[in-house]
């Protein structure tokens, strides 16, 4: 005899439907009850019960649309209330930490940031500064975070937020999730920065509607995040995203990871500075300004960034052939690349990638979220468990 499969209890069904409705409002914004019923496949009485319950607790509100069409009674819009659930998002970079309190619906309620220097990159120093700044900003905004999401440029174990290695920060085996949770007194989720960039682009950026996409970002290093069949690709133990350490040039420059010729050594920030004849430690603003000055001259772009462009395209051909995405989103410093560079990369990927040709061309676009992508992704990471508890 086979063991019977237990059916879902009514309270479990209600909880599932409630979470689905909240996620729909959180991600896509205000909607009418009728639209919610159609999109979620629920009957109107179920939607009414869910919305009424959420309205009673202040999680959503209803109002008459600003623009009305047709005669008769207008359909009320259901709106998520930002202060009903607030999370803290933290983006730890090599040279800066950014923090924001984000409300239900994705509204950024307030933010803070500060620079990191060699002496302030110690994990203890970073954690202390985060705790102090979080309290000041929370008091100023009069909010309380119910969850925290953290983006880190390194190899992160998702189960407990252990940063196994973040070489550019000189961190090894830092129990960031546990330590931050202890001082902030709320659950903390930690993710690789590129993975969270991919999450942000998938939920709120250029890849909305794409079920298979890759996010490639360049800060000091190069990282990648992958959405496969609509879900983040996380790998064993959550360790995934180090696309910058594909070896593309055997015998090339030595990378800090110990290998030679990593993709990062050819297209990372230092490589871009070399191509622009700038010092490798040039300020980010100077790099962006130089790139913008080239934008009006295709000849100058080809002359100064030709080799850089070829290495960027070569790595993307490999990424596209391996992962077969509908879309590749270029983030962080790559968003400042002149359009002729992006056009050349598109052309090379289309010609050299079997997969891109098979799917009719993988779309390659620049991120509309810019430097906020990983902060937004950290907020969405924090919201994942929260939406089921509001």
Domain with CATH 3.30.420.40 in the chain: 84-195+374-386, 208-368
- Within 10 angstroms of residue 131's Cβ, the number of other Cβ atoms is 16
Locate 25 and state its tokens: 């409002």
Q: Which CATH superfamily groups domain 84-195+374-386?
A: ATPase, nucleotide binding domain (3.30.420.40)
Give the separation between CA 152 and CA 130, rounded to whole angstroms: 13
User: What Å distances lie between residue 146 and 86, 178, 341, CA to CA?
Assistant: 6, 16, 43
Class of domain 10-65+72-80: mainly alpha
Beta strand pairing call for 327-332 and 171-175:
unpaired
Domain 208-368 matching CATH 3.30.420.40: the answer reads yes
Query: How confident is the model at residue 60, as a pLDDT?
Result: 96
**3-state SS, one letter per residue, for 140-188:** HHCCCCCCEEEEECCEEECCCCEEEEEHHHCEEEEEHHHHHHHHHCCCE
Who contacts 229 (Cβ-Cβ below 8 Å, separation ≥6)?
Answer: 211, 212
Give the separation between CA 232 and CA 239, rounded to whole angstroms: 12
Give the separation between CA 361 and CA 341, rounded to whole angstroms: 17
- Each residue's pLDDT tens digit in the chain (390 positions)? 555 555 567 788 999 999 999 999 999 999 999 999 999 999 999 999 999 999 999 999 999 887 666 555 667 899 999 999 999 999 999 989 999 999 999 999 999 999 998 777 899 999 999 999 999 999 999 999 999 999 999 889 988 999 998 988 999 999 999 999 999 999 999 999 999 999 999 999 999 989 999 999 998 889 999 999 999 888 777 677 789 999 999 989 998 888 899 999 999 999 999 999 999 989 889 999 999 998 888 888 988 999 999 999 999 999 999 999 999 999 999 999 999 999 999 999 999 999 888 878 899 999 999 899 999 999 999 999 999 888
Provide the total of helices (H) and of strands (E) in the chain, helices listed first.
13, 16
| Residue ranges with strand state E in 254-347 | 327-332
Residue 358 backbone phi and psi in degrees, to 5? -65, -35
CA 242 to chain centre: 15
The pTM of the full predicted model, rounded to 2 decimals, is: 0.91
Locate 53 and state its tokens: 């319950």
Question: What is the spatial order of strands in the sheet that 31-32 belongs to?
Answer: 31-32, 77-80, 60-63
Query: How confident is the model at residue 64, as a pLDDT?
Result: 85
Domain with CATH 1.10.10.10 in the chain: 10-65+72-80
Query: How confident is the model at residue 75, as a pLDDT?
Result: 79
CA 38 to chain centre: 29
């Amino acid at each position: 005899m086979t063991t019977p499969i237990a059916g879902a209890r009514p309270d479990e069904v209600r909880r599932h439907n409630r979470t689905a409705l909240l996620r729909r409002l959180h991600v896509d914004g205000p909607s009418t009850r009728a639209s919610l019923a159609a999109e979620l496949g629920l009957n109107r009485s179920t939607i009414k019960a869910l919305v009424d319950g959420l309205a009673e607790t202040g999680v959503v509100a209803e109002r008459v649309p600003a623009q009305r069409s047709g005669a008769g009674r207008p359909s009320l819009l259901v709106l998520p209330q930002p202060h009903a659930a607030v999370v803290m998002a933290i983006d730890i970079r090599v040279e800066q930490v950014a923090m924001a309190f984000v409300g239900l619906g994705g509204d950024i309620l307030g933010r803070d940031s500060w620079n990191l220097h060699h002496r302030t990159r110690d994990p203890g120093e970073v954690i202390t500064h985060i705790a102090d700044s979080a309290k000041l900003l929370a008091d100023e905004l009069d909010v309380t975070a119910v969850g925290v999401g953290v983006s880190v440029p390194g190899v992160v174990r998702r189960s407990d937020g252990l940063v196994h290695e973040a070489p550019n920060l000189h961190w090894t085996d830092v129990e960031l999730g546990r330590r931050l949770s202890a001082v902030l007194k709320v659950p903390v989720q930690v993710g690789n920065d590129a993975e969270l960039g991919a999450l942000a682009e998938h939920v709120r950026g250029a890849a909305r509607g794409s079920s298979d996409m890759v996010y490639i970002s360049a800060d000091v290093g190069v990282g990648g995040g992958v959405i496969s069949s609509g879900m983040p690709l996380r790998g064993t133990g959550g360790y995934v995203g180090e696309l910058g350490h594909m070896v593309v040039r055997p015998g090339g420059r030595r990378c800090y990871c110990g290998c030679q010729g990593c993709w990062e050594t050819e297209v990372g920030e230092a490589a871009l500075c070399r191509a622009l004849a700038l010092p490798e430690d040039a300020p980010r603003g100077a790099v962006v300004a130089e790139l913008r000055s080239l934008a009006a001259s295709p000849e100058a772009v080809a002359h100064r960034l030709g080799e850089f462009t070829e290495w960027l395209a070569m790595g993307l051909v490999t990424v596209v052939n391996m992962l077969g995405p509908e879309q590749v989103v270029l983030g962080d410093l790559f968003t400042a690349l002149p359009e002729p560079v992006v056009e050349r990369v598109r052309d090379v990927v289309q010609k050299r990638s079997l997969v891109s040709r098979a799917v009719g061309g993988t779309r390659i676009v620049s991120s509309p979220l810019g430097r906020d992508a990983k902060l937004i992704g950290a907020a969405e990471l924090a919201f994942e468990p929260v939406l089921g508890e509001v």
